Structure 1
Amino acid sequence: MCNMILFELFKTFFTIGLISFGGGYAMIPVIELEVTEHDWMTIQEFTDIIAIAGMSPGPIATNSAIFVGYQTAGFLGAIVSALGMVLPSLIIILIISIFFNKANKHHTVQSAFYGLRPIIVGLIVYSAIKFAISNELVGTFSPHSISLLAIFGLSLLALIKFSIHPAVVILTAGVVGIIFF
């Protein structure tokens, strides 16, 4: 039974790592779909994992895979999930690096990369909206949701307008959460 779960974790994250483009945030909707379809955790549990993975050092998709793997099958599950997520990129990068200088100058390759940009932005925005809905930031107007929107707005303002380091914003938001919630 445990070997089957480990195989399923590896296969799932290997597939996600192989077919997903645009970085970790663009992979979140795909990971969420797989995690909930396999009944490895609820959407709320996954949302909590994304919050932790986003604050942890390293790529969010790999961190998410590690947390999901650990939650599902312990330490071995975390290792298997991480390998599944990382191996496709490693293999593809090794192959691409051999041909990159020649291929990058080709018009078709440049056009393909240009065409992928909008979908990557769309996946990131979709992920942010799903995350906001599951955390009741949008959809309802209660004192709780308004306070969450205020923290979001002030955090965004601190990052964009005042260029405050993201770590400071994250820590401050955490302290505010402790105080108010």
Structure 2
Amino acid sequence: MTCPEASLGVIGCSLRPLGPKRAPSATEDEEEVEEIECEESRPQVICILHKWGDEVVVVEEDTTREVKRMRSVVSRVMKRIERQQLIKQMEPLAEENAKLKEAIQLMEKNIQRAQHEQDLAESNARDLEYQKGALSRKLTCTFKQLQSVSEQKQQLKDEVEDAAKGLADDVDQFSKVDGEGQAQ
């Protein structure tokens, strides 16, 4: 195989072998279909140009091997592109994640503050319960003392009344003695 003369602007050429022969298209009038066997396809050769300095080297390679290599390269490039796209998609998510972390920290501070306030309220409730018990005991004691004082006062009142009656009786007797001039 030889390359035809290159025209201006063309670096090189590649030749492809003719493809396998195909079966003629069937017409409506034909009733029988013949099976036609084709030649096996031959691998195609491509020319790859490499430039080293001022020299250009033409390398002929088997297309199937080159296609596999190129698929591998394209696959790696696609993975890199996908990774970059994922990174770009993740940037807003990272910002949102940072905002969520700040919100969580604020919530945790609020929870701690609320827990502290709840502990303080519980402590105050216990103190009030204790004070209520102490005041209740004092009130009971004071009530008993007042009851005792009231009973004592009633006793004294009764004694004073009895003494007043006794004195009144004595005064009555004294006045009877005085009025008659003699003691009875």
TM over 0.5: no
In proportion to residue count, which structure has more strand?
2
Give the TM-score band, short-chain normalised.
Answer: under 0.3
TM-score (norm 2): 0.20
TM-score under structure 1 length normalisation: 0.20
Q: Which has the higher contact order (CA 8 A, sep 6+)?
A: 1
> Rg: which structure is higher?
2
Greater fraction of residues in helix: 1
